[in-house]
Every structure is written in structure tokens, then in C-alpha cells.
Chain A
């Protein structure tokens, strides 16, 4: 039997747009939903035309998507209002079942890319008076919510007189935009200097295809923002970090107006703030080069943002001194010395760890910093047991960006694959500081020559004035 496809409009938020295709594809695979693109979507376009075989599928997708604002059952799409009206009038009888007298309704007028006053919107609304509306108007939680959307393009300067496209349809479901508000860092109890933005954390959890009851790990956990997002979707969470002061909430406060951290600031306090404490397993103070998880331990997903050595140090326990021994009398209070843990080695270790401690088909989701001019897929970390299934860029500056990588474990590793010694990855940190050194020097020279120029100008003026006198 052939399936019956129905048209829907997916309306995305214009924030972190680089991640939306990967997010939707990840969720479609997680829920095993069939979705067809009416037109191949472009990342920067906020409206996608798609088809589902059932409304439940559309609702399920929206129930987990962070990028999605609304999912609308499409009743009409046109390039002009006249055309839209004639389409809708022709289908008028089909709409009758949605509008019997017991159902309250509302019509929303939305314009994208151009601003209209409330009065202008109302007059747009009045052109729909032919719809067979029977029930009462209800602005809050109506039984049926219809949306009329005018799209003036996504380049906000000089929008055209008339919209490029107009859409009309019934709102089916909304995405998780409100969750981003709820997890806002502004109101979060415990944050660090590099705490991940809630939307990106939730996107990572979706790339990891987290399901309720999964056990996940963040081996560079910091203040635990990735754990919060994963726990929102029902994961039980483990974290580890080398930073003793961070996990005990004793580092310098990250908020500018806060002089001292509160007594109870830690990862657990964040989980408690969002009523997710039942999902918290443990955090360990541990160096990623000494693994304390038992060899048979398998995580359902590993989600992490390793340090890049710019705003957070890349360190592991160790010393440059040979034959160094901590003396007996200092043992009880000794703080281990740390040495540089280069980015190439961190990523090699992370991928080897994932090949061992992920379940087969489990996902490793991690960020990877790159220089945009040097970037090509060859410079990404690889492992024979991990398949790269998504790769999205978030620009950080003109020259640098970080990429969100999603790997899937395809098979268990051989003994050799657990002892990979080499790493072909470029050290982001080294280049970062070399480039910065250069530009600093250039800046100094530029400032010096500007100063000289100004001084000369001043002197000539002064002389001119004196001559004048």
C-alpha cells in the first residue's frame, strides 16, 4: 500500500542555523521517522517545505527539536495574496471539520523580514473572512491555531514591497525554544568561564540521539552544562574533570558582579535547580590520561567539549623532572603537578577512549577547533571504529571556528586500534598563539607610526601658527 504524504511547513529559529539540518536528520533517524523534502532545504532559509505520512511523526519531531519554532500543516502556499485566497477558497469544504462551533480558534499573522503594526496585521487578517469559522475566538490556548505567514526574505535590509512567499496552515506542534530560556546561563546556579550555551548543549544531546535511561559521560565536564542538557532528555549522567577546584565549586566566580561563589555551587546543584537530580550519577576528579572506568564499561553516548588551551588550559598530571618523587611528609596535602596535554593527543585519546567505552552504534559528540583557512575534512580526528556522521561549523572569529563532530561507533576495536600512538591533527593552540604574536607586533608598529604621524602633524601646525603670529 502506498503511503499518504501530507505537506507541512517547518519554521526554524534564525539562531545557530548551521546546526539545523544535522539536528533534523539526527532526530529523524532516532525516531525512525519518514520525512520527504519538497524542496532541498538551504541552511539559511527559515522555512522548509516537507512531507510526513502522519501527523504524529511531525509532532514527535517537533517534541525534540531545539532549532524548530513551529510545525504547520500546510493548507496553502503562494507568491501572492490573491493566489493564496483562490487556493484556499477552492479547498474551503476541506476545512469545515476543523471549525465546528464547539472549537475555539485563533489566527496569527506573522511576517518574517519586515515589520508591520498591529493594525496592518489585523487588516491582513480580515481578508480571510470567507473561511468557514464557527467557533469562538480564543487568544490563549485555542483548540485550533491557524498561522498566516508572509516571508520577505532573510536579508533584513531593504525588504521588498511584496512578500516572496506566503503560507497558510494549521499549527501542529512547537519545538523546544522555551527550554533554551529555562536553561539560560543568566539564571543558572553554577557556571564557569567556558560553560556551553544551552541551545548548543541541547543540540549536542540531539546529535547524540539520547534516549531516556541512557548512561552518558562527559570526560571534560567543567560546570556540567552538557550533562544538564542530556539529563533533560532522560539520560543518567557521569562526568569527570581534572580540575579539583571546578568540581568542588571553588574556582574564582565567572559572573562579573559575584565576589564569592556560594557554598553549594557544583554540578549537582545545577541538576537540582532544574529538578534533574534523579538523573545525576556522579562526577569524578580524574585526569583523562588515567582511566578509572572498568574495561567492560560501555556508555550509551559520550558528549564533550575538550579544552582548546585558549580559555581553558590543556593539562594532564605529570612532570618534566626525571625521577621526581613526592616526599612522604608532603603526600597528604600534595597537589599533583601538571604538564601540557596537547590538542592532537587529547583528540587521539578521546577517540581511542570512545572506540573502547562506547556501545556499538553509540555516538561521540565533541567540538573541534580549527583555522578556517586550513580546514578540510582530512584535518579532523579519525579512528577506524568511528564513523563521522555529522560535521557542523560554528564560526568563532574571522579566522577561527569550531566544528561540532558526531561519530558513530561501528564495531569494537582490535588491540592495535586501542594503542594508536600517532596523531596527525594540527595543534590549534600553537598556531593560535603564533598568529596572535604576529598581529600584536603589527599592531604595535602600526600604533607607533600613527603616533609619529600625529606628532609631525602637530608640530607642523604649531610651526604654522607660530609663523602666523
Chain B
């Protein structure tokens, strides 16, 4: 599971949970695999991203690469910056671990990079 995906997931659909965002990450295996860098895509997707959430998630996995705490202005043409963000969004991947609902503590296991978001029949 990539950090881009983590950035757009919430556990709000669980009964009794009001925000459910961001999910906590507990990772036992993190992999960085090369993905073709397309600056246009990174620049396009950045406005949709919660910067703080991305920063905290990447930092907890040790892959923040000293990026600024706040999204800088005029990043569209800053290739070095976009490349680092590209790495955080698309190349860092949780292979084994858990996503945890911040309110209910419900855990969602990640196996072979695929998160299992199924609730049980008594939770729906």
C-alpha cells in the first residue's frame, strides 16, 4: 500500500466513528520500489493531498527525506522537490503491517501490499 492511497482513506464508515482520519500505520515490512517519475502527475495530484498527513505517515516510516513541514509555493517547476514527493507518494510501499482506525482502534491488516478493509458482519 502506497502513501498516496493512505492519504485518501478514512474509516468513517465504521459505526460510531465520526472522522476516522488519518488512519495510523503500523508497518513491519516497508519496500521502496522504483516507479517512473512523471512530474506533471505529481504536480497535479499534490493539491488533493493532505500535506500534514503525508508528512506524518512518511516520517513514521523513515522516508520523509527532510522535506519542509509545509507545502511550499511554486513547486510546479521544482523538479528536485517533485522527485522527493514522487518517492513518498508512489515508491514507498507498506508490504506487511496494519492500518488502524484512530477512533475505534479497529485494525486492518496489510498483506503482500494489499490492505484488507473488510469489516465483520457484526460491524456493518
User: Measuring CB to CB, which residues of chain A are less than 8 angstroms from any residue of chain B?
Assistant: 213, 215, 236, 238, 240, 242, 244, 247-248, 266, 268, 277-278, 281-287, 289-298, 316-319, 324-326, 331, 334, 336-338
On whether the beta carbons of A326 and B120 are closer than 8 Å, the reply is yes
Judge if B56 is at the interface, Cβ distance under 8 Å: no
Q: Mark B1-41, 1 if CB is under 8 A from A, else 0.
A: 11011001111111000000100000000000001101011
B111 within 8 A of A: yes
Asked whether A319 and B122 contact (CB < 8 A) given A247-B114, A292-B11, the answer is: yes
Among the listed B9, B45, B114, B120, which residue makes an inter-chain contact with A292, where contact means beta carbons less than 8 Å apart?
Answer: B9
- CB pairs A–B below 8 angstroms (15 shown): A213-B38, A236-B41, A244-B116, A266-B114, A278-B38, A284-B114, A290-B13, A292-B11, A292-B13, A324-B121, A325-B122, A334-B120, A336-B120, A336-B121, A338-B121
Docked Cα-Cα span, A324 to B120, in Å, equals 10
Q: Which residue of chain A is the closest to B6 with respect to CB atoms? A: A282
User: Contacts A282-B1, A285-B117, A317-B120 given: A277-B35 contact, CB under 8 Å?
Assistant: yes
> Bound state CA distance, A292 and B115, in angstroms?
11
Secondary structure dominating the interface of A: loop
The minimal Cβ–Cβ distance linking A413 to chain B, given in whole angstroms, is 17
Per-residue A-contact encoding for B87-124, CB less than 8 Å = 1, 0 else:
00010000000000000000000011111111111101
* A334: chain B residues within 8 A (beta carbon): 120
> Min CB distance, B28 to chain A, in Å?
16
Cβ of A278: which chain B residues have Cβ within 8 Å of it?
35-36, 38, 90
Q: Is B44 an interface residue (CB 8 A)?
A: yes
Find the residue from A282, A285, A317 having the highest chain B CB count within 10 A: A282
Whether B118 pairs with A286 at a CB distance below 8 angstroms is: yes
Q: Tell me the nearest residue of chain B to A325, going by C-beta.
A: B122
Task: Name the residue on A nearest B99 (C-beta).
Answer: A292
> In angstroms, how far is the closest chain A Cβ from the Cβ of B103?
14
Residue of B nearest to A330 (CB): B120
Which residues of B sit under 8 angstroms from A293, Cβ to Cβ? 8-10
A278 and B121 CA atoms in complex are apart in Å by 36
- Determine if B115 and A284 form an interchain contact, defined as CB atoms under 8 angstroms apart: yes
Contact A294 B10, beta carbon cutoff 8 Å: yes
**If the complex has contacts A236-B41, A277-B35, A291-B13, are A336 and B1 also in contact, measured as CB distance less than 8 A?**
no
* A213-B44 contact, Cβ under 8 Å, with A284-B114, A286-B118, A297-B8: yes
Residues of chain A with a CB closer than 8 A to B13's CB: 290-292
A316 surroundings in chain B (CB, below 8 A)? 124
A92 to chain B, nearest CB (A): 48
> Which A residues are CB-close (under 8 A) to B40?
213
Give me 13 other A-B pairs in contact (C-beta within 8 A), A284-B114, A336-B121 excluded.
A213-B40, A236-B41, A247-B114, A248-B112, A281-B5, A282-B114, A285-B114, A290-B124, A292-B11, A294-B9, A317-B121, A336-B119, A337-B121
Task: State whether B44 touches A285 (Cβ < 8 A).
Answer: no
Instruction: Determine whether the beta carbon of B114 is less than 8 Å from that of A318.
Output: no
Could you tell me how many residues of chain B have their Cβ less than 8 Å away from some Cβ of chain A? 34
Q: Which of B34-91 contact A (CB under 8 A)?
A: 35-36, 38, 40-41, 44-45, 48, 90
Closest to A327 in B: B122
Residues of B within 8 A of A294 (CB): 8-10, 12, 21
The docked-state distance in angstroms from the alpha carbon of A286 to that of B108 is 11
Minimal Cβ-Cβ distance residue in B for A282: B5
Whether A289 touches B124, Cβ cut-off 8 Å, given contacts A236-B41, A238-B5, A297-B8, is yes
Q: A295–B41 contact, CB under 8 A? A: no
Name A338's closest neighbour in chain B (CB-CB).
B121
Task: Give Cα distance in the complex from A298 to B44, angstroms.
Answer: 13
Task: Decide if B120 touches A285 in the complex (CB within 8 Å).
Answer: no
Q: Which residues of A contact B90 (CB under 8 A)?
A: 278, 281
Q: Is the Cβ of B124 less than 8 Å from the Cβ of A242?
A: no
Which B residues touch A292, using CB under 8 A? Answer: 9-11, 13, 117
* Residues in B whose Cβ lies below 8 Å from that of A286: 117-118
Pair B115/A215 contact, Cβ less than 8 Å: no
Chain B residue nearest to A297 (CB atoms) is B8
Query: In the complex the two chains form, what is the Cα distance from A331 to B120 in whole Å?
Result: 9
* A290-B117 contact in complex given A213-B44, A215-B45, A295-B10, C-beta closer than 8 Å: yes
Cα distance A396–B44 when bound, in Å? 41
* A213 surroundings in chain B (CB, below 8 A): 38, 40-41, 44
- The 8 Å CB contact of A317, one of B9, B38, B118, is B118
A238 CA to B124 CA, complexed, in Å: 24
With a cutoff of 8 Å between Cβ atoms, the chain B residues found around residue A336 in the complex are: 118-121
Give the complex CA separation of A309 and B116 in angstroms: 23
Q: Which residue of B lies closest to A285 (CB)?
A: B116
User: Are B118 and A244 touching (Cβ within 8 A)?
Assistant: yes
**Min C-beta distance of B123 to chain A, whole Å:** 8
In the complex formed, the residue of A with least CB distance to B41 is A213
Give every chain B residue within 8 A of A240 (Cβ-Cβ): 117
Contacts of B112 on A, CB cut-off 8 Å? 248, 266
Chain B residues contacting A284 (CB-CB under 8 Å) are 5, 9, 114-117
